[in-house]
Amino acid sequence: MIKSELVQKIADNNPHLYQRDVENIVNAILNEITEALAGGNRVELRGFGAFSVKNRPARTGRNPRTGAKVEVEEKWVPFFKTGKELRERLNAD
């Protein structure tokens, strides 16, 4: 599901809301999550999961085309860990 599909689904489930308002709400939520992660914070949505940031240290990589060694810089990457309720729903028989 892409963001526009999410907005459409929420708008369909809530006919009293305008689609542009739903889009603004979804964008606000995603922006807050992004800002929190950029600030090094953790974002937890109970029953869904937790977003955090992990560090990948610098390393020596390899160019797959030439085989030459390449230095890869340290970087911070987003990480998502599913919540218990979501895991249980995905694995329900």
On average, the pLDDT of the chain sits at 95
Distances (CA, A) of 64 to 4, 46, 61: 36, 41, 9
Specify the pLDDT at position 22. 96
CA pair distance 86, 83, nearest whole angstrom: 5
Render pLDDT for 21-66 as a digit per residue (tens, 0 to 9): 999 999 999 999 999 999 999 999 999 999 999 999 999 999 999 9
CA distance 71 to 86: 38
Q: How far apart are CA 25 and CA 58, in angstroms?
A: 37
pLDDT at 92 (0 to 100): 87
Domain ranges of the chain: 1-41, 48-93
Helices 19-38 and 3-13: angle between axes, nearest 10 degrees: 130
pLDDT score of 93 more than 80: no
Over pLDDT 90: what percentage of the chain?
98
Homologous superfamily, domain 48-93: IHF-like DNA-binding proteins (4.10.520.10)
